[in-house]
Amino acid sequence: MIDRNAPLPDYLELLDRTLRDSHPNVPRWSGHLVVEGYEDIFRDGPAGRWAIRLPAAEPIPAEAYAPRLEELRRRAYPWINLHAVGVLRGRLLVAIELPPGERREGEVAPGMTSLNLSRPFEVVRNVPGWGLETLLAEGEAGSGPPAA
């Protein structure tokens, strides 16, 4: 059990542990990258290969994202999802997903936002090392140099 107001590093540690405890052959990663928004998985090209489109922002190190998560918590969304997308540049990419609709902000009492954890989609789990580089749609953020 984790305190709902625990800091981001505690949630990322729980996410790592949960993934490693619940999936065989979990790849190794070193640290986390964070991007805000939902990714899109779709069939691409004439061969219909699976591809992934990430949110427009460049993923950033989790340490740099931590203050933003605290800001989102203060807005009192009913939930915030930490979705393990896959491994990008040797780090676990975590998408921060908010409830749809702008009116969801302030829906719960301060300090009562639920942080949820989600594993990668099956398409990603079937890729060796959960490597997103092989799934990224052409021109995607995250295909460039490593984030600082």
Band of pLDDT at residue 47, cut at 50, 70 and 90: low
Predicted pLDDT of residue 42: 80
- Residue 95 pLDDT > 60, yes or no? yes
In a domain, 73, yes or no: yes
Mean pLDDT on 116-123:
93
| Structure-model confidence comparison of residues 48 and 142, the more confident one | 48
Closest among 74, 72, 88 to 147, alpha carbons compared = 88
**Structural domain range at position 23:** 8-130
* pLDDT at site 72: 92
Assess if residue 3 is contained within a domain: no
Amino acid code (one letter) for 60: I
Report percent pLDDT > 70 for the chain. 89
Q: What are phi and psi of 96, to 5 degrees?
A: -95, 115
In a domain, 93, yes or no: yes
Please indicate, yes or no, if residue 66 is contained in any of the structural domains.
yes
Mean pLDDT of the chain: 86
pLDDT band at 16 (very low <50, low <70, confident <90, very high): very high
Q: Are the CB atoms for 58 and 144 separated by under 8 Å?
A: yes
Report pLDDT for 146: 40
Evaluate whether 105 touches 77 at the Cβ level (below 8 Å). yes
Please give the average per-residue pLDDT across 92-109, as a whole number. 86
Q: Whole-model pTM?
A: 0.86
Specify if 120 maps to a domain.
yes
Task: Quote the number of domains for the chain.
Answer: 1
**Beta carbons within 8 Å of 83's beta carbon, 6+ residues apart:** 39, 94, 95, 96, 97, 117, 118
Asked whether residue 143 is assigned to any structural domain, the reply reads no
Residue written as token pair 């902000």: 105
In the chain, pLDDT over 90 holds for what percent of residues?
Answer: 53
What is the band of 111 on the pLDDT scale with cuts at 50, 70, 90?
Answer: confident
Q: Is residue 141 part of a domain?
A: no
Alpha helices in 23-137 (DSSP H): 62-74, 122-125
